[in-house]
């Protein structure tokens, strides 16, 4: 795992983790819930926010970007592929929807797969793990094998917290009907965080998250934020959140 500059102590690392957690929640809650921004422009806001947050963290901590990307890059890619394979059975259990037309498929892959997937991988599975691991390292909690394991468990727990608060910023994830979907996000992104922890290479979660979004797109599963129709299926609307079961939505045949 890349180390921080000696001047970056555990207090700074913990403060950075708190900032990451707050930003991870606000970027979804403010932009999509309060601002009602649709998915396409939201991906741009999320990406710019994540890049700014990541740049601020590496500058503050003195972490080497080269180490994050190039150190053990082969193992990073392998770990990303393994993480994607582990999550694939969960994706196949989701109900499929209409696939985007071929004319839009490449654009969806690039924007919602590569760009969106990279931003979420850095925000949810990289930065929180890195911050808490470097906090533990500054405290001398990585000197023995069992302390390494305990520090790793702390870092993964922190990542799961950030993953949860980030997704709870979306209105649809706060509905009772979406609890399984939230659990799936925790499992999928949690495995990616573990892949980063084991390799110390940012390519591991990035590769895994891009492949996850590719799978979801091919199956016709829409990614957050949800549209008004999707919110209705969770028993929510734009003006009020309810825990009532989602009403049955009649299916109509498209006109020929």
Q: What global pTM score does this model have? A: 0.87
Question: In the structure, what pLDDT confidence band is assigned to residue 51 with cuts at 50, 70 and 90?
Answer: very high
Q: State residue 148's pLDDT score.
A: 92
What is the predicted pLDDT for the residue at 244? 35
User: Which segment of 28-42, 56-70, 171-185 scores lowest on mean pLDDT?
Assistant: 171-185
**Of residues 75 and 251, which shows the higher confidence score?**
75
Per-residue pLDDT reduced to its tens digit, 173-208: 998 888 888 999 999 999 999 999 999 999 999 999
Contacts 24+ apart (CB under 8 A), 244-253: 244/176, 245/176, 245/177, 246/175, 246/177
Q: What is the maximal distance between C-alpha atoms in the chain?
A: 68
* Residue that has been written with the tokens 């797109």 in this structure: 217
Average pLDDT score over residue span 40-48: 97
Which comes out higher in pLDDT, residue 248 or 43? 43
User: pLDDT (tens digit, 9 = 90+) per residue, 228-238?
Assistant: 656 665 555 55
Q: Cα 33 vs. chain centroid, distance in angstroms?
A: 18
Note the residue count of the chain.
Answer: 256
User: Residue 243: pLDDT above 50?
Assistant: no
User: Which residues lie below 8 Å from residue 253, measured CB to CB, with a gap of 6+?
Assistant: none
- List of residues 6+ apart from 140 with CB closer than 8 A: none
Q: Rounded CA gap, 188 and 209, in Å?
A: 9
């Amino acid at each position: 795992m890349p180390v921080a500059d000696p001047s970056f102590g555990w207090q700074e690392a913990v403060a950075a983790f708190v900032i990451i957690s707050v930003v991870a929640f606000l970027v979804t809650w403010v932009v999509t819930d309060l601002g009602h921004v649709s998915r396409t422009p939201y991906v741009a806001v999320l990406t710019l926010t994540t890049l700014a947050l990541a740049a601020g963290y590496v500058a503050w901590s003195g972490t080497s970007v080269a180490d994050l990307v190039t150190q053990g890059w082969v193992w990073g890619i392998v770990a990303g592929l393994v993480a994607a394979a582990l999550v694939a059975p969960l994706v196949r259990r989701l109900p499929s929807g209409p696939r985007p037309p071929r004319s839009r498929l490449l654009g969806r892959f690039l924007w919602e797969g590569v760009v969106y997937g990279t931003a979420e991988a850095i925000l949810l599975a990289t930065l929180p793990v890195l911050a808490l691991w470097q906090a533990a390292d500054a405290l001398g909690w990585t000197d023995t094998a069992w302390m390494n394991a305990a520090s790793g468990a702390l870092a993964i727990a922190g990542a799961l917290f950030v993953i949860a608060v980030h997704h709870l910023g979306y209105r649809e994830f706060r509905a009772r009907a979406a609890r399984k979907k939230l659990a799936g996000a925790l499992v999928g992104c949690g495995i990616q965080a573990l892949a980063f922890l084991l390799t110390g290479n940012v390519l591991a979660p990035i590769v895994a998250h891009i492949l996850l979004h590719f799978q979801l797109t091919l199956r016709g599963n829409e990614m957050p934020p949800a549209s008004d129709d999707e919110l209705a299926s969770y028993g929510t609307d734009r003006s009020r959140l309810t825990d009532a079961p989602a009403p049955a939505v009649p299916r109509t045949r498209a006109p020929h």
